[in-house]
């Protein structure tokens, strides 16, 4: 049982680290949208970043007894990345600035 416990704690450490990194990325996209595009998508990204911060997820589980499943977070993350780089005005601005430099 002890070996299984170590694997579980290592997995949770990895998932927490990935959560922090992706949450920070989505938060930064939200700030960039607030500054350069429009406040509405910026606020949406800032709210979506809360899904990935481990303390926010722990608070949600504590208050409601429900936590967002990892598969939902992965699917939402793929949608966020695709939308940011493919559809949003921020992706267009990144493309234009890359060609200027």
Q: What is the pLDDT of residues 11-51, one digit of tens each?
A: 788 888 988 999 999 999 899 888 888 888 889 999 999 98
Alpha carbon 38 to its chain's center: 19
Task: Give the whole-angstrom CA distance, residue 85 versus residue 72.
Answer: 20
CA–CA distances in Å: residue 101 to residues 35, 44, 78, 91 = 20, 29, 28, 16
> What residue numbers bound the domain in which 9 lies?
2-100
Residue 8 to residue 6: CA distance in whole angstroms: 5
pLDDT tens-digit profile of 41-70? 889 999 999 989 989 888 989 999 888 888
Global pTM value: 0.74
Domain total for the chain? 1
């Amino acid at each position: 049982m002890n070996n299984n416990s170590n694997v579980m704690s290592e997995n949770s450490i990895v998932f927490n680290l990935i959560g922090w990194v992706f949450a920070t990325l989505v938060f930064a996209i939200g700030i960039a949208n607030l500054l350069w595009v429009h406040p509405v998508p910026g606020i949406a990204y800032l709210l979506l970043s809360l899904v990935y911060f481990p303390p926010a997820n722990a608070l949600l589980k504590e208050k409601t007894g429900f936590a967002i499943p990892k598969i939902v977070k992965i699917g939402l993350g793929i949608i966020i990345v695709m939308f940011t780089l493919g559809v949003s005005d921020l992706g267009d601005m990144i493309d234009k600035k890359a060609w200027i430099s």
